[in-house]
Amino acid sequence: MSKNKYSVLLPTYNERENLPLIVWLIVKYMTEAKRTFEIIIIDDGSPDGTLDVAKELQKIYGKEKILLRPRAKKLGLGTAYMHGIKHATGDFIFIMDADLSHHPKFIPDFIKQQEGNDFDVVTGTRYMGSGGVYGWDWKRKLVSRTANYIAQVLLRPGVSDLTGSFRLYKKEVLEKLISSCVSKGYVFQMEMMVRARQFEFSVGEVPITFVDRFYGESKLGGTEIIQYLKGLLYLFATT
């Protein structure tokens, strides 16, 4: 059994339907992989009672497995990770979405890839090997592919999927990357990879399948696409 401990950061906003299942799956795959782990739930003041569900889950799995680190309101992804890291006791940090678009069954693949090559970062990719996307119409896929392609051309990040948000980091690497990032929201994930290249961190990739949300509304709309393009041009100008 590995001596390493893994902290899984789960930023949540209105995920009460998804949270019990994602937590159960993380516990299942971590336990099967015989890993020491904790799940840190960072709820941004969800009005739907996500935090109440999280408290029930804490009673079921125990306080050493489920840590609740809520915030009063929605403050963005980057700051949620910053907040989560402060409380993380793991040597490695997983970041993933709580809405079941990232299946915890890939967790052992990330760990194996990291351990085999001592990578600083392992990122999930939808655009390589057996990776893919389910539940998107062709327009959504086209937007995603195009966004990724433009980013590849402008930023040459060295990874095939820049906007993915299912990743495994060495804790100190994630701290350094987050403290050097300026973007908020959707572009934040992309900037993390660009900064990783700048600092010459080693990055591995694991093919994952991304499944569109089970419950609730997708977070990607027209305003996100505009933000994405602005962020992309900013990164291009400054890196």
pLDDT digits (tens, 9 = 90+) for 163-215: 778 999 999 999 999 888 887 666 788 888 889 988 999 999 999 987 765 44
**pLDDT at res. 24:** 94
Predicted pLDDT at 209: 83
Q: Could you tell me the maximum CA-CA distance found in the chain, to the nearest angstrom?
A: 49
Residues in the chain: 239
Provide the residue range defining the domain that includes 66.
Answer: 5-238
CATH code for the domain of 63: 3.90.550.10
Looking at the structure of the chain, the number of domains it has is 1
Task: Classify strands 36-43 and 5-12 as parallel, antiparallel or unpaired.
Answer: parallel
Q: Find the range with the poorest average confidence among 81-90, 185-194, 213-222, 229-238.
A: 213-222
| 157 — pLDDT class (breaks 50, 70, 90) | low
Asked which of 23-27, 195-199, 225-229 is least confident by mean pLDDT, the reply is 225-229
109-146 pLDDT per residue, tens: 999 999 999 999 999 987 777 767 666 677 767 777 77
pLDDT value of residue 121: 96
Q: Is residue 100 within 8 Å of residue 22, measured between CB atoms?
A: yes
Residue 53 has pLDDT above 60, yes or no: yes
End-to-end CA distance of the chain: 40
